[in-house]
Amino acid sequence: AQTVTQSQPEMSVQEAETVTLSCTYDTSESDYYLFWYKQPPSRQMILVIRQEAYKQQNATENRFSVNFQKAAKSFSLKISDSQLGDAAMYFCAYRRSDQAGTALIFGKGTTLSVSS
């Protein structure tokens, strides 16, 4: 069974600084998708970034980028120029690429606090 592990329950960063959230996963599949979701105190889950396993290039969305290491099964999220609005719980998620695997498997989450 696939598993997703986020080893940092809490992280903190100062405004304008850079922070990296870690995620590792376990799977025997060769093709799959990885996601980072953000859940602010309002509880609305928001997609931050998505990575296809077959793509070598790391995904980037504005201030958010990932470091995808397929062999190491590692998928970290880097937030640059952190803003107060980035404070939230961040979840790493895995999904298989076939029809039987549309379910997202989530890590336990990392709570990020941002100070001014």
Partner 1 sequence: KAGVTQTPRYLIKTRGQQVTLSCSPISGHRSVSWYQQTPGQGLQFLFEYFSETQRNKGNFPGRFSGRQFSNSRSEMNVSTLELGDSALYLCASSLGDPNTDTQYFGPGTRLTVL
List residues binding partner 1 (CB under 8 A): 33, 35, 37, 42-47, 50, 91, 95-109
Minimum CB–partner distance for residue 100 and partner 1 (Å) = 7
* Angstrom distances, CA of residue 91 to CA of 10, 56, 99, 100, 116: 12, 22, 23, 22, 23
Toward partner 1, which CB reaches closer, 42 or 116?
42
CB of 19 to partner 1, least distance (A): 21
> Of 64 and 106, which CB lies nearer to partner 1 in the complex structure?
106
